[in-house]
């Protein structure tokens, strides 16, 4: 697997971890990081054995958006803008076969907010703070945020967050529907590990096909969608092997019988 300069990427069984890794700059985004995000996610999306991808930050921040100081200090930064394809990193988070989890452990704004919005599940530390922040620097937004955000918080709330750009805390983010769980900072990693273990324990093929269902439901008319959904459902329902539905039912039956004989 490729080694990255601005990201800490690892794979442990069915779980991939992508950590923003510029803690000395609070994980601020540079052109290099944007390019590496697309590259890393492209590699991970191609791994058939991965069912869960966790996006988080090293240090006390998730990702606060662009590192404006670094850009100001680098007189050539504007000439090294990433290729437009790079912005499809958000699409990869939204559409890749693995379930994607944004584990927001601190400041989350700008591009960091957009990457989080593209994930399937978002959880937060009580210390996390959120803002879209784009209009504050004279930009209209990037990384598909105007597409993903209304799908989690609704159209009216999305417009408020984009146009007014309020700074909100983790509890407000949960009230808005942007995150589903908020954990105390001191127990955040433990709670996250438990959630990830739970998700990773699900049947890999079922997780990936459920993700496919959700992605295709956004694209297809209902009739066409049900045709594909039913084919995937029946394929997994009738498959063989210890991890199949039949295999799991047999294991459960054997366990029940063993419990009754003790």
> Global pTM?
0.90
Residues 68 and 163 in one domain: yes
Domain that holds residue 111: 7-200
Flag whether 207 is in a domain. Answer: no
Domain stop point among 169, 200, 231: 200
Residues 83 and 118 in one domain: yes
The closest of 109, 98, 99 to 57, measured between CA atoms, is 109
Residues 191 and 111 in one domain: yes
Residues 116 and 245 in one domain: no
Q: C-alpha distances in angstroms, 243 versus 47, 161, 185, 256?
A: 19, 43, 36, 18
CA–CA distance, 29 with 161 (Å, rounded to integer): 21
Residues 249 and 136 in one domain: no
Q: What is the 3-state secondary structure (H, E, C) of 98-122?
A: CEEEEEECCEEECHHHHHHHCCCEE
DSSP-assigned states of every residue in 16-27: EEEEE--GGGTT
What total of structural domains would you count in the chain?
2
Contact 114, 144 (CB under 8 A): yes
Residue 256 is predicted with a pLDDT of 56
Flag whether 208 is in a domain. Answer: no
Residues 100 and 60 in one domain: yes
Residue 253 is predicted with a pLDDT of 60
Flag whether 209 is in a domain. Answer: no
Flag whether 46 is in a domain. Answer: yes
- Which CATH number is 123's domain given? 3.90.226.10
Residue 252's contacts (CB-CB under 8 Å, 6 or more residues apart) are: none
Per-residue pLDDT of the chain (262 residues; tens, 9 = 90+): 899 999 999 999 999 999 999 999 999 999 999 999 999 999 999 999 999 999 999 999 999 999 988 766 766 655 567 789 999 999 999 999 999 999 999 999 999 999 999 999 999 999 999 999 999 999 999 999 999 999 999 999 999 999 999 999 999 999 999 999 999 999 999 999 999 999 999 999 999 999 999 999 999 999 999 999 999 999 999 877 666 676 666 666 666 555 656 6
Residues 125 and 231 in one domain: no
């Amino acid at each position: 697997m490729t080694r990255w300069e601005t990201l800490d990427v690892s794979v442990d069984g069915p779980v991939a971890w992508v950590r923003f890794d510029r803690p000395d700059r609070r994980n601020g985004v540079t052109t290099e990081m944007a390019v590496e995000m697309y590259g890393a996610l492209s590699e991970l999306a191609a791994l058939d054995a991965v069912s869960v991808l966790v996006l988080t930050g090293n240090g006390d921040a998730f990702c606060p958006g662009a590192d404006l100081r670094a850009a100001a200090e680098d007189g050539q930064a504007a000439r090294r803008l990433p290729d437009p394809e790079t912005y499809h990193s958000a699409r990869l988070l939204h559409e890749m076969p693995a379930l994607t989890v944004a584990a927001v452990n601190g400041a989350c704004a700008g591009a960091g907010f957009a990457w989080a919005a593209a994930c399937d599940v978002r959880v937060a530390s009580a210390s996390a703070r959120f803002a879209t922040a784009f209009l504050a620097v004279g930009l209209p937004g990037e990384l598909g945020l105007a597409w993903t955000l209304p799908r989690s918080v609704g159209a009216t709330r999305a417009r408020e967050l984009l146009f007014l750009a309020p700074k909100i805390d983790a509890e407000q983010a949960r009230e808005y529907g942007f995150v589903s769980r908020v954990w105390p900072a001191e127990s955040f990693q433990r709670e996250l590990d438990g959630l990830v273990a739970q998700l990773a324990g699900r049947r890999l093929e079922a997780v990936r096909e459920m993700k496919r269902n959700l992605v295709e439901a956004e694209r297809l008319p209902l009739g066409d969608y049900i045709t594909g959904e039913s084919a995937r459902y029946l394929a997994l329902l009738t498959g063989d092997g210890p991890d199949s539905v039949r295999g799991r039912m047999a294991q459960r039956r054997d366990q029940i019988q063993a419990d009754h004989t003790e």
